[in-house]
């Protein structure tokens, strides 16, 4: 029974992790599900595979109106293979989230309202403090973008994120495609739209940032559960230990894991998508596991706590 509930909670968390942004970004995206605009796919130039400045500038001019369904299917297979060989599940999930998490429901105009629009491919946004290290995710995904030019970056980032969750043992997430890419760095969102891990009042901060995206308390708790995957690295975000017993390269489980060894994970098996994030934060027993102030808030703020305890951790409903 406990197993079933845990799986159910994980499923629901994953659905929230992958879909709200897609759902909410869609109305802002004027080409979403519009057959006429989809047919009017314009001048997408094949992007180069490396990421030097000049090459990125060429890609900035690329405009895509909709992703081709057959290419999406084929790209999913390539992403699966990428995951099998690089174990890059966490950073691909983070890539999708950081492209989407700039969304502002209060702004009518696209692309000013942000969201999943591929803007994270541009240097100006990759250089935002919150995006430190995500250039590595873009480098991983760029060859797939080059191979399937009719898939927008916006769709590809979300496809990669959802596929990574699925391949890490999470649920198969129902997805829709048709997100439109912004065309230039001037269309990137300003810095500061994503949550800060150590604000003075973490619960208030989480509500301020996630309510702006149109999400509610349950969705905040659910989405935070994505930290069941991955690590924090002090040299990137400033958070976490340089290494722990779970992240040193000799660690048996992931000795061939993604990227360089080190960093601090939230969970013991940080390439497995499950419910352990909630259990580990609640128990706070292992100094080698990370709890950011915003993670702790989920069990300290009375309203979040009810959800973390009763609805996700114990009951698994969302």
CA distances from 261 to 161, 236, 267 (A): 22, 14, 15
CA distances from 52 to 122, 139, 145 (A): 11, 11, 15
Chosen residue from 10, 17, 116, 159 binding ligand HEM by CB under 6 A: 17
**Binding flag, residue 203, ligand HEM (CB under 6 A):** no
Active site residue 98: yes
Catalytic residue chosen out of the listed positions 87, 89, 98, 205 = 98
Shortest CB 122 distance to ligand HEM, Å: 19
What gap in Å lies between CA 237 and CA 234, rounded to an integer?
6
The mark string for 213-252 relative to ligand HEM (x by CB under 6 A, - otherwise) is: ----------xx-xx-xxxxx--xx-x-------------
Rounded to 10 degrees, the C-alpha dihedral 80/82/87/92 comes to -80
Q: How many residues at the interface with ligand HEM, by CB under 6 A?
A: 24
**Binding flag, residue 178, ligand HEM (CB under 6 A):** no
What gap in Å lies between CA 288 and CA 222, rounded to an integer?
23
**Binding flag, residue 184, ligand HEM (CB under 6 A):** no
The mark string for 266-305 relative to ligand HEM (x by CB under 6 A, - otherwise) is: --------------------------x-x-----------
CA distances from 282 to 144, 201, 240, 244, 307 (A): 39, 19, 18, 20, 12
Closest by alpha carbon to 85, among 253, 258, 252?
258
The mark string for 81-120 relative to ligand HEM (x by CB under 6 A, - otherwise) is: ---------xx-xx--x-----------------------
Report the DSSP pairing between strands 231-232 and 264-265. Answer: antiparallel
Which residue, 66 or 195, is less far from ligand HEM as judged by CB? 195
CA distances from 41 to 107, 130, 250, 271 (A): 26, 32, 49, 37
Which residue, 45 or 245, is less far from ligand HEM as judged by CB? 245
Shortest CB 134 distance to ligand HEM, Å: 8
Which residue, 90 or 178, is less far from ligand HEM as judged by CB? 90
3-state helix, strand, coil in the chain (%, to 5): 55, 0, 45
Residues that bind ligand HEM (CB under 6 A): 17, 90-91, 93-94, 97, 133, 195, 197, 206, 223-224, 226-227, 229-233, 236-237, 239, 292, 294
State the catalytic residues.
Answer: 98
């Amino acid at each position: 029974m406990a197993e079933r509930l845990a799986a159910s909670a994980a499923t629901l968390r994953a659905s929230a992790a992958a879909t709200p942004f897609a759902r909410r970004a869609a109305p802002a995206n004027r080409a979403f599900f519009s057959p006429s605009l989809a047919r009017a796919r314009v001048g997408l130039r094949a992007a180069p595979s490396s990421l030097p400045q000049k090459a990125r500038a060429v890609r900035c001019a690329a405009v895509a109106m909709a992703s081709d369904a057959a290419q999406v299917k084929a790209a999913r297979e390539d992403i699966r293979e990428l995951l099998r060989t690089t174990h890059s599940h966490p950073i691909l999930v983070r890539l999708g989230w950081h492209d989407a998490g700039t969304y502002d429901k209060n702004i009518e105009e696209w692309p000013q309202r942000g969201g999943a629009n591929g803007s994270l491919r541009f240097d100006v946004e990759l250089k935002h403090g919150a995006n430190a290290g995500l250039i590595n995710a873009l480098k991983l995904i760029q060859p797939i973008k080059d191979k399937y030019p009719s898939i927008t970056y916006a769709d590809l980032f979300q496809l990669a994120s959802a596929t990574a969750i699925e391949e890490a043992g999470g649920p198969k997430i129902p997805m829709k495609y048709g997100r439109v890419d912004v065309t230039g760095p001037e269309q990137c969102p300003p810095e500061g739209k994503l949550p800060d891990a150590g604000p003075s009042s973490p619960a208030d901060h989480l509500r301020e940032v996630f309510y702006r995206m149109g999400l509610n308390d349950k969705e905040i708790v659910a989405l935070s559960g994505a930290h069941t995957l991955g690590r924090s690295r002090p040299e990137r975000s400033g958070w976490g230990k340089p290494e722990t017993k779970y992240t040193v390269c000799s660690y048996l489980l992931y000795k061939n894991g993604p990227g360089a060894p080190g960093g601090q994970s939230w969970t013991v098996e940080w390439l497995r998508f499950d419910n352990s994030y909630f259990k580990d934060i609640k128990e706070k027993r292992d100094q080698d596991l990370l709890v950011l102030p915003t993670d702790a808030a989920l069990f300290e703020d009375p309203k979040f706590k009810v959800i973390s305890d009763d609805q996700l951790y114990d009951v698994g409903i969302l």
